[in-house]
Amino acid sequence: MADKVAFELVSPERLLISADVDMVVLPGSEGDFGVLPGHAPVISTLRPGALEIYEGDNVSERYFVAGGFAEVAGARLTVLAEQSIALADLDRANLEQQIQDAQEDVADAKDDPTRDKAQERLDQLTEILATL
């Protein structure tokens, strides 16, 4: 369709979305950017943040992506995400509990590698919470 963007969101586990949409807003490494029909070809890295899918003027779906790549080619947008989570599936209270647990893991870490891994998890959970 000429007035739609053929959009695919792919994670390492599976194809999450394959649909024709009006617009997608992505968390690019240089800042957020929107892809509409007729967008110039581009390849961009993604930073952790919210990916928003638009139908008309409204956001129809939101996903947290933990980085990856986006490629716009013709009327097609493909996002290869390192990790992707549908924000509608998340429970704020559960996420806040996971953050508290991760903070305790950082504080209780006995060595630098363990602390670094726990801090990475805490940072990712905090970024997800910020997108809700």
Q: pLDDT digit string (tens) for 45-90?
A: 999 889 999 998 899 999 999 889 999 998 899 999 998 988 888 8
- Assess whether 96 and 122 both reside in one domain: yes
Burial pattern 41-59, b for ≥16 Cβ within 10 A else e, equals eeebebbbbbbbbbeeeee
- Assess whether 52 and 100 both reside in one domain: no
Give the range of the structural domain holding residue 15, as residue numbers without chain letter: 5-87
User: What pTM value is reported for the model?
Assistant: 0.78
- Assess whether 77 and 101 both reside in one domain: no
- Count structural domains, the chain: 2
Choosing from 87, 102, 117, the residue where a domain stops is 87
Mean pLDDT over each residue of the chain, to the nearest integer: 89
- Assess whether 53 and 106 both reside in one domain: no
Neighbours of 105 (CB within 10 A): 16
- Assess whether 77 and 13 both reside in one domain: yes
- Assess whether 95 and 49 both reside in one domain: no
- Assess whether 105 and 62 both reside in one domain: no
- Assess whether 81 and 38 both reside in one domain: yes
Lowest-pLDDT choice from 28-37, 55-64, 123-132: 123-132
